[in-house]
A and B are shown apart, each in its own frame.
Chain A
Amino acid sequence: MNPRQHPPLVLEGNITIDGIDEIKRLVDDRAPQAIDLVIDASAVSRLDTAGFQLLLACAHRSMEFDCAFECINPSETLLAGMRQLGFAADFSARSMTACGSQEQS
């Protein structure tokens, strides 16, 4: 394990506007500045746009603090939502902040 990295932050269940403040607090507690952040999203069953935006902000944060961000084992729900919102599927900071596009038919 990278010395700057804590064990993965496991997110499960609903990642929606209702509990989004709490999740941000968890991220802050788990990974202060310059600490790499790994999120295990395998058990995420429901996300809304606020939830995706938080993950996106985590990706931005990694660039801001020059640390790594990784979302491991994204659930099918998460991947489908990302596709619908036009984000690339690898959830890396670079791909999420780039001007990519997702095509749906």
Chain B
Amino acid sequence: MDHREELLDTYIEEAGELLVEMEDGLLALEENGSDDDLLNAVFRTAHTIKGSAGIFGFKDIVDFTHRVESVLARMREHRIAFSPQLGSLLLKCHDHMAALVELIAKKAGSLTDELAERGRTLGDRLGEYLLDPALPTPVAGATEVQAIDPPATNIWHISVRFGRDVFRTGNDPLLILRHLESMAEHMTVVPVTDALPNWEDFDPESCYLGFEINLIGPMERAAIEQAFEFVEDHCELEILGPDAQLKDYVALIEQMPETPRRLGEILLACGAISQSDLQHCLDLQARPALGEVVVSTGVAPQQVVDAALQKQQTAKGRKALSIRVQAEKLDRLINLVGELVSASATASLFATQSGAADVQEANLAVANLVDDIRDSALQLRMVQVGDVFNRFPRVVRDLSGELGKQLELSIQGADTELDKTVIDQIGDPLMHLVRNAIDHGIESERERAASGKNPIGQVGLNAYHDSGSIVIEVSDDGRGIDPARIRQVAIGKGLVGADDVLSQSDIHDLLFHPGFSSAEKITDVSGRGVGMDVVKQNIESLRGTVVVESEPGHGSTFRIRLPLTLAIIDGFLIGVGSSKYVVPLDNVVECVELTAQHRRESRHRNFVNLRGEALPILRLRDYFRATGPSSIRENVVVVTVENRKVGLIVDALLGEHQTVLKPLGGLFKRVQELASSTVLGSGEVALVLNVPALVAQARKSENEALANGCQAVAKESR
């Protein structure tokens, strides 16, 4: 990927973030349309999107956003009042801007006819708000509101010297100048070519140019600075505003690489200063530096001046607290860390086998560092789940209007962090669950009133940590799931028999069956019977689970449990026959020896008595039909998923193991009980168990055994 493409990716990513901010702002304005801070924030996002688009020459975005910005500017000036209609229009404009950015992201080329038509229609509707400036619509209660960031209407001067690498980084100063020109009423440019070397030394890929630029127009400093955003590390830039004084030009002359007289001539040529100003500047510039004066007059010692200069340099060198890194670079790092963890495991094995204390000690130090590196590297990929939650206020708002239901969305735990891969893939399942909750869960206002409920339906999104996993809940206070109806539909579709004994969780599981839908009406929102099974598949592909809790008349909660990371986990290595398996350590509660009494208790049954608690068990040797000698002393590894415990009976406990997860081949696609594989330090391959699937299997076996027992008892009693 060349640097221009990288910059383009950055633009697309930033534009996406700004669009989210803009949407949030517009939604918040619906609550409080006269909030100047909100208005300014929305204006700034639109302005920044337009500005950055201008740098890349994306004319469609610039032109359309300019119109949006004009309406927002009038709103800031209180010449147009916010109204629900205007809010809806601006949200549609936001969507159109997002579509234009998407077009660039997809490298789809020119606008489709549909998109162009939509742009024209929205532009016309925006134009209605720009028609008559003589008809201001003051906001109620607004008396004298001071404009924030009032646009300046004077002359700006920009001195820029591009660094040698600016072309190689994919930047083109010409585009920046074009963008500045598009903002200004008048622009004067003087190229500075003094750094151009002799032909022999001239490297055509290096930039030797600088520019002195005078701009006239109603601009803000931020907008000018933004034009140079992508080259800020590759240029010397000075911006003098309308309030600049002669001393500022003196400082400029001192800073720039050309001789003072040469630069003075250039400034004169572009009209930044007059002839007399130039002479005055040169006189001032010839005076000794302030520091020298301070030291020579004894006002302060040299050390103090040096310290002050040092502080100044430090302040200049201070950079932003965060940096943007491409996800694929992080992926590469995580892969390498995975290899490092595997190599470290091999080294540990050999160190142990060598029996040399000093080798083991040195290896231990390396292994500890590898642990730290692993944790730090994985932390880099963690993203706040709020990035996904942010899209839902808009969804709820739109569905509220579409379905005529009053809705309120509450979001909790938005700062909970999750692996980026999971974040990227969890959006669609969540979207389906939320839409489903609103469409099927929340009743109409009339129904809610009839059952004595608040007419405003509540939808909740909640995220939190639990037992080393992340739990995301989608809840509603609607009508809940009617088990009788689900059962009836399932019987009708032939999914279950009329006499089948079904627990509540079995009934809820039917919701995720392909083609199952109990909706009486097919709507655009949901109810086509596709989706819930896909939701479950998507979540399971992330090594997650989804369960439903519902109380008829009071609402439902869909609880998604996801692993913190998909790359490297702490595992617990176990032996079953001649094979080795890894159980994710987060699922392990304890390990106990399978005693003779346990063996007696579990004969012909699928549970043991663990300190008075009936613990369903799964003998992995039988389950996986393992070969190899069995152990004299078997152990029970007690694992838990969503407070459900199951005992896995294994032959050997081999201890903790840092597990670098490798995908399983297509052969294992249908084996639900296996999540992935890993390579051990010895080079052997161990399979990683999918504990939720095993727990479900163990409990199913237990239920079947119980049901068979009941039927046998019933038969005997007849």
Residues of A within 8 A of B (CB): 17, 20-21, 23-24, 47-50, 52-54, 56-57, 60-61, 64-65, 81, 84-87, 96-97, 99-105
Contact = CB atoms under 8 A, between A and B. Distances in A.
Contacts of B265: 99
16 contacts: A20-B205, A23-B204, A24-B202, A49-B174, A53-B196, A57-B199, A57-B204, A60-B199, A84-B174, A86-B188, A87-B191, A97-B193, A99-B266, A99-B269, A100-B190, A101-B271
Contact of A99 (B177, B190, B209): B190
A50 B208 CA distance: 9
A101 B186 CA distance: 13
Contacts of A49: 167, 172-174, 207, 209
B204 A48 contact: no
B188 A103 contact: yes
B189 interface: yes
Given A50-B207, A86-B211, 4 more contacts: A21-B204, A57-B199, A101-B270, A101-B271
Nearest to B181: A104
Interface of B: 167-168, 172-174, 177-178, 181, 185-191, 193, 196, 198-199, 202, 204-205, 207-209, 211, 265-266, 269-271
A53 B209 contact: yes
B193 A85 contact: no
Interface of chain A, main secondary structure: helix
Contact of A53 (B198, B208, B211, B266): B208
A84 B188 CA distance: 9
Contact of B196 (A60, A84, A85, A105): A60
Closest 6 CB pairs of A and B: A86-B189, A61-B199, A20-B204, A101-B190, A105-B186, A86-B191
A105 B217 CA distance: 10
Interface centre among B177, B181, B185 (most CB of A within 10 A): B177
Contacts of A20: 204-205
B366 to A, nearest CB: 45
A48 B204 CA distance: 12
Nearest to B270: A101
A99 B210 CA distance: 12
Given A17-B167, A99-B265, A85 B172 contact: no
B224 to A, nearest CB: 16
Contacts of A23: 204
A54 B205 CA distance: 9
Contact of A65 (B181, B185, B199, B202): B199
Given A60-B199, A99-B269, A84 B189 contact: yes
Contacts of A99: 190, 265-266, 269
A48 B703 CA distance: 73
Nearest to A21: B204
Contacts of A60: 193, 196, 199
